[in-house]
């Protein structure tokens, strides 16, 4: 009898946790507010909307409604750190819901789920699959998501394509020099280690996946601010412990939020890692890690 009760209670707890995790991943969207003192003295603050890991499927009504609401935050700059898609038909709905944000100055890079559609695999693979550092080259299967259409639509309104590229924007009177890389998780990143533009007021490095080789290169090049996504904040966090994995070689203590990154002999860079606002459609669960966008206010 005791064993039966124990099994019943364990099953109920498991089902309850699963239900909570599903609701958290698909309904409990949040906008976080963070401040980073990276601007020269006397410069006006800049409100940066950091979006990442949307993983949009056209039928996700709650997520689409929330994305539509973000234009009301009236950011000065939008940074999209990739993994926008989870379905071949998602580009149109994504552009529709971003709406007026595409008229705001912005930059973007791609993640693996801008090139490759997610596929069904064991959920435990995320926890046991290692860091991905030793993938050893580009993925071999054919790209099956419309990444060129996505590139065209995001660029059409003036957002800068930073996939292995540099660019510059002036926002609120501050000249910002950007350096970006294509997805490090696929080893698509091409780093030339060239110093960032020393004449700019602010230098920013942008990547999808925060692999240490990329963060180190950005920091050595003199970028004061680094922005990335990919980790989903661990997707499953334990109270008092935090994230269990980052799906790259970044330590779990920096799985999401604002931190610093420094290589020997260089000044520390501020590092913001977004926990993102989506998941693979095959694992629509989050625990103690709500889907998010961040308003990162840059100050002097």
What pLDDT digit, counting tens, does each position of 208-232 carry? 999 999 999 999 999 999 999 999 9
Which residues constitute the domain of residue 67? 2-298
pLDDT (0 to 100) of residue 11: 47
Lowest mean pLDDT among 94-103, 139-148, 238-247: 139-148
| CATH number of the domain within which 240 lies | 3.60.21.10
Q: Is the pLDDT of residue 106 over 60?
A: yes
Residues 119-133: pLDDT tens digits?
887 666 666 555 555
- In percent, how much of the chain has pLDDT > 70? 85
Residue of higher predicted confidence among 194 and 153: 153
Q: Is the pLDDT of residue 203 over 90?
A: yes
Residues 136-193: pLDDT tens digits?
444 567 899 999 999 999 999 899 999 999 999 999 999 999 999 999 999 999 977 7
DSSP-H helix ranges across the chain: 2-26, 61-69, 91-98, 125-128, 147-156, 212-220
pTM of the model: 0.92
CA 270, 50, 285 angle in degrees (round to 5)?
110
Domain count, the chain: 1
Whole-angstrom distance, CA of residue 274 vs CA of residue 72:
20
Note whether 286 and 243 are within 8 A (CB): no
- 239 CB burial (10 A radius; 0-12, 13-18, 19+): exposed
Q: Are strands 237-238 and 242-243 parallel, antiparallel or unpaired?
A: antiparallel
Q: What is the rounded average pLDDT of the residues 50-78?
A: 98
- In percent, how much of the chain has pLDDT > 90? 76
pLDDT (0 to 100) of residue 137: 47
pLDDT (0 to 100) of residue 6: 46
Query: Would you place residue 14 in the very low, low, confident or very high pLDDT band (cuts 50, 70, 90)?
Result: very low
């Amino acid at each position: 009898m005791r064993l039966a009760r124990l099994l019943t209670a364990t099953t109920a707890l498991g089902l309850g946790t699963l239900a909570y995790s599903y609701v958290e991943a698909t309904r409990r969207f949040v906008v976080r507010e963070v401040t980073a003192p990276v601007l020269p003295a006397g410069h006006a603050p800049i409100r940066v909307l950091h979006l990442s890991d949307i993983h949009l499927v056209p039928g996700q009504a709650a997520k689409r409604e929330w994305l539509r609401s973000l234009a009301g935050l009236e950011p000065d700059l939008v940074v999209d750190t990739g993994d926008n898609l989870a379905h071949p038909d998602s580009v149109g709905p994504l552009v529709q819901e971003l709406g007026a944000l595409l008229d705001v100055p912005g930059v973007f890079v791609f993640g693996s789920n801008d090139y490759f559609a997610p596929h069904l695999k064991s959920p435990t693979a995320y926890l046991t699959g290692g860091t991905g550092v030793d993938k050893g080259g580009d993925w071999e299967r054919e790209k099956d998501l419309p990444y060129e259409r996505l590139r065209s639509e995001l660029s059409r309104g003036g957002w800068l394509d930073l996939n292995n590229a540099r660019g510059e924007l002036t926002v609120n009177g501050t000249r910002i020099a950007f350096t970006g890389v294509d997805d490090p998780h696929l080893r698509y990143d091409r780093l030339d280690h060239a110093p960032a533009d020393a004449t700019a007021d602010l230098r920013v490095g942008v990547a999808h996946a925060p692999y240490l080789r990329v963060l180190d290169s950005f920091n050595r090049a003199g970028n004061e601010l680094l922005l990335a996504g990919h980790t989903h904040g661990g997707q499953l966090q334990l109270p008092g412990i935090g994230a269990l994995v980052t799906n790259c070689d970044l330590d779990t203590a920096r799985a999401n939020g604002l931190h610093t990154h420094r290589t020997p002999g260089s000044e520390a860079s501020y590092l913001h890692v977004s926990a993102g606002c989506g998941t693979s459609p095959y694992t629509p669960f989050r625990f103690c890690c709500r889907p998010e966008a961040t308003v990162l206010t840059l100050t002097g």
